[in-house]
Amino acid sequence: MIIAATSDIHSPRYLNQFFQSFNGLKDIKVDLFLLAGDLSEKGEFNHFYPVYSAVKKYKTVAVFGNEDFQDKREFYKKHYPEIIWLEDEKVDVNINGVSISIVGSDGVLREPTKWQKLNGMDEEYYRKKREIIEELLCEAKGELKILLTHYASSYSTIVGERKEIFPQLGDRVIEEAKCLPNIAIHGHAHYAKVTFSVVRNVKVYNVALPANKKIVLIRLSDLEVTPRIS
């Protein structure tokens, strides 16, 4: 099984780069496509259409990013219905006989920005969001468990960004959670130099397109699929 994953397309900003990489997948059998948010520039959801037209032939699951503004998210769901959209939710899919539980969220920030605090997304907001994510991970029963977020779920895969802004790029969810996925996929950190890490036996991928310069491919043969709780 092959999983393709990317984020931070900010269409149309990185649309050419997305298609340069996407066109290289034509001879690869992709079984699952994951999108980790910031799909369009500044919430202009209509700019997502070219990406949607390309990925809808796959089983595709997506979460929203900070630039997929909350007041636009229902438009994404309405106009791009062949994608499974997750907002602090879990979906179970079966691919090639493997049961997969995907927990999806825009994710958690340890230190919200000033703008976010002014708009009701303060530390308590993210504390509750983190509790929901952890509950969903504990409920997940799939042979393969995937955590899909926009914000970083580990600081290990944002190295290269300025260290003082790490808390505004994500949180140490994988380092601290009771129930763990097999793999964790996130975006948001455009300037990361380290985009893959193993934390507590969880394979963590930063799939931000600006950081990787390509769509990330994850081969199931490289992964253990036995659910585990630390």
Q: Are strands 32-36 and 84-85 parallel, antiparallel or unpaired?
A: unpaired
**What pTM did the predictor assign?**
0.94
Task: Report which residue type is found at 81.
Answer: P
Please provide the DSSP assignment of 209-224 as one string.
HHHHSS-EEEEGGGS-
Q: What is the mean pLDDT of residues 214-225?
A: 79
CATH code of 2-222, in short, is 3.60.21.10
Is pLDDT at 228 greater than 90 in this prediction?
no
Q: 220: pLDDT confidence band, cut at 50, 70 and 90?
A: confident
* % the chain with pLDDT above 90: 90
Q: Which two tokens stand for residue 57?
A: 């032939």
CB burial of 9-40 (b: ≥16 within 10 Å; e: otherwise) equals bbbebbbebbeebbeebeeeebbbbbbbbbbb
Q: What is the mean pLDDT of residues 195-199?
A: 98
Q: Using one digit for the tens of pLDDT, what is the confidence trace for 84-108?
A: 999 999 999 999 999 999 999 999 9
Q: What are phi and psi of 176, to 5 degrees?
A: -120, -15
Is residue 107 within 8 Å of 150, Cβ to Cβ? Answer: yes
Is residue 36 within 8 Å of 186, Cβ to Cβ? Answer: yes
Contacts for 44 with CB less than 8 Å, ≥ 6 apart: none
C-alpha closest to that of 117 among 167, 62, 75:
167
Is pLDDT at 226 greater than 80 in this prediction?
no
Q: What is the mean pLDDT of residues 64-71?
A: 94
Q: Using one digit for the tens of pLDDT, what is the confidence trace for 15-64?
A: 999 999 999 999 999 999 999 999 999 989 999 999 999 999 999 999 99
